[in-house]
Structure formats: structure tokens, C-alpha cells
Amino acid sequence: MHYDVFNGDADGIIALLQLHLSRDKPHPKDSILVTGVKRDISLLKNVDRNKATSVTVLDISLEKNVEALSQLLDKEIAIFYVDHHRTGELPKSKFLTTLIDTDANICTSLLVNNYLNNEFIYWAIAAAFGDNMQASAQALADKHNVSIEQQALLSELGVYINYNGYGRSIDDLHFHPAMLFKTLLDYANPFDLISEDDSIFYQLQAAYTADMEQAKQATILIDNDQLSAVQLADEPWARRVSGVFGNELANAAPNKAHVVVTLNETTHKEAASYTISLRAPLNNKQGAGELCVWLSYRRWSVCCRRD
């Protein structure tokens, strides 16, 4: 049995979408899908080692999954691993094939797009916008003469799919990422989806707009030349919107770092904990990973993704 393990955000979903839609490089269609909310990146452990014959892994840090990966490789299960996050040390195995690039301007869907020789550039552009890689998305779009109007629509689509992945648990999401993936499989061309009046594109657009309206009322904690920090309420809408709201703030003020703080649900006996969505200054993309490591040394539980 083939397993597809993918991050539940736009980059993970669209990377897999391209592989499933490809005619040039066929991918197993009948696969078991393993995914989750965007921040759930410890996914590879959910693959059944006794059932799997091969596994594709998309857009989740190898470093965070290395134990499960090594166990699968020990069972001689072929793994195709495509990602752009921190890798740590790669296990040495002839059963492991990797397509990994940690460059700050590349995402998993762009790696898959290269692998498929630009077979689905519209989807790849949408994913790059969704992963907040505006420059890479625009560069690919310009190279293939995608108009400004089309770019704006692909950007919207990528942002909505990305937005759908955020939440504390699957219950917070509008659509389970596996279900969203299956729905999108009907569209080799995303403009067919966008031109359908009542498609999932418009359902996500309505949900996104409503959540963002609420986020704009956020409490401002810090606002200076280097850093802006805002706090959102502990509500499903806030948990869904925190990441994309962070992206929007980052894009609006690219010279400073941005932090969106959401209070986590706790019982009154537990210490308060927060989910921190961190964006390095877009014009100086560095240091976010180090800050996350620093915070985790200080017992902050930090889920660090460059997203």
C-alpha cells in the first residue's frame, strides 16, 4: 500500500495534487492519505510499517520525523521525501530518495513543479503565494506570461487553501485537508475551480473574509520599528486566521518582524501557554529559526516552521 504523507497547508496539499494529476510521472492513485492541521508536522509516525510498501512525504521537516523515517527505511520501504524545512542529518539508505532544498525562496510545491517540468504551473504559483513566497510566485508567473489578474486570483486561492490548514485541531478547520485535496483533484486547471460559482474557492473566500474582519480588531502588544506583536482571542476563528494574518502583517510592513500571539486553552491549574506565529522581516529573512530554538531552550514549547 502506498502512503501519501503531506502537510495540511497549501504547499503540502498542492505538492501532492501535482503528483496525483501528473501524466508524465504517474503517482500511485490509491494511496492512504496522512495529513493534519498545518502545525501538526509529526506525521510520519502515523504510517503503518506493516502495511506500507512505499511512502511519499511532502512539506514536513525531516528533522522532526527522522525517527519514524529511519524505522520505515529499516523495513526497506521506499521513501520519496520532498521538502524545504530544516533537515538535520539525513539517514543513509538506498531506499530514501530526497528532493530537498532549504533555500528561503523555495517551497515544496515549487520543488515538485521543477520535478514535473512545469506541468502544473498555475497550481505551483498558487502554492508559492499560499506559502507566502510572493517573489518566487511572481517570478514563475512572469516567466510563463501569467497575467497580473490571473496572478491575483492564484494568490487568493493559495492564501485560502493555506488559511484552511490553521487550527489547534482538525475541529477548528472548515475542511479536512485530505477532503480538500480530494475536492481539488477534479481541477487540473485551478481557473476551472475559480470560475465555478459555488466552488470551494468561494466557500473558503467567505470564511476567510469573516475571520480576517475579526482579526483586524486584535489587541496590539508591541509596535516599534523592529517588531510588531498582536494578540488574538482563544477562539476557533483566531486559531484559523493567526498564520495568514501574520503573513498579511508581514507583507504590509516588510522591514520588521511580526508576532501573532494566541492564548492556548488550559485548565486553571496549568500555566498559561501561547501559540506564537512568528515572521522574520520579509526584507531580511533570517533568524526566525534561531529564535524558535532559543525559545524552546527556555521551555517555550515552540512549533517552528518557516511558513
Kindly tell me the sign of the dihedral angle through the C-alpha atoms of 209, 131, 162, 241. negative
Q: How far apart are alpha carbons 5 and 230 in whole angstroms?
A: 33
Q: By CB under 5 A, which span of 6-14, 74-82, 239-247, 250-258 interacts with Mn ion? A: 6-14
Nearest distance, CB of residue 131 and Mn ion, angstroms: 5
**Structure-block grid coordinates of residue 1:** 500500500
Nearest distance, CB of residue 289 and Mn ion, angstroms: 14
When the beta carbons of 108 and 136 are compared against Mn ion, the nearer one is 108
Strands, DSSP E only, in 119-264? 219-223, 227-232, 257-263
Q: Is residue 15 part of the contact set for Mn ion (CB under 5 A)?
A: no
Nearest distance, CB of residue 15 and Mn ion, angstroms: 8
User: What are the distances in angstroms from CA 116 to CA 103, 110, 141?
Assistant: 19, 10, 16
Nearest distance, CB of residue 85 and Mn ion, angstroms: 7
Contact 9, 165 (CB under 8 A): yes
When the beta carbons of 123 and 237 are compared against Mn ion, the nearer one is 123
Q: Is residue 107 part of the contact set for Mn ion (CB under 5 A)?
A: yes
When the beta carbons of 40 and 230 are compared against Mn ion, the nearer one is 40
When the beta carbons of 59 and 119 are compared against Mn ion, the nearer one is 59
Kindly tell me the sign of the dihedral angle through the C-alpha atoms of 187, 190, 195, 198. positive
When the beta carbons of 107 and 259 are compared against Mn ion, the nearer one is 107
Number of residues that bind Mn ion (CB under 5 A): 5
When the beta carbons of 15 and 229 are compared against Mn ion, the nearer one is 15
DSSP 3: E
Q: Tell me which of 3, 6, 11, 56 binds Mn ion, using CB under 5 A.
A: 11
| Gyration radius of the chain's alpha carbons | 19
Q: Is residue 40 part of the contact set for Mn ion (CB under 5 A)?
A: no
Element holding 34 (H helix, E strand)? strand 31-34
Which residues 108-167 are close enough to bind Mn ion by CB under 5 A?
Answer: 108, 131
Contact 280, 257 (CB under 8 A): yes
The amino acid present at 241, given as its one-letter code, is V
Q: By CB under 5 A, which span of 11-19, 118-126, 249-257, 262-270 interacts with Mn ion? A: 11-19
When the beta carbons of 79 and 106 are compared against Mn ion, the nearer one is 106
Nearest distance, CB of residue 43 and Mn ion, angstroms: 13
Nearest distance, CB of residue 41 and Mn ion, angstroms: 10
Contact 222, 229 (CB under 8 A): yes
Q: Is residue 304 part of the contact set for Mn ion (CB under 5 A)?
A: no
Q: Is residue 59 part of the contact set for Mn ion (CB under 5 A)?
A: yes
When the beta carbons of 40 and 59 are compared against Mn ion, the nearer one is 59
Buried/exposed 148-158: b ≥16 CB within 10 Å, e otherwise: eebbebbbbbb
Q: How many Cα atoms within 13 Å fall on the side-chain side of residue 77?
A: 25
Looking only at the bridges linking them, the beta strands covering 96-100 and 78-83 are parallel
Q: By CB under 5 A, which span of 7-15, 26-34, 232-240, 256-264 interacts with Mn ion? A: 7-15
Nearest distance, CB of residue 116 and Mn ion, angstroms: 17
Which residues 218-237 are close enough to bind Mn ion by CB under 5 A?
Answer: none
Q: How many CB atoms lie within 10 A of CB 246?
A: 23
**Binding positions for Mn ion, rule: CB under 5 A:** 11, 59, 107-108, 131
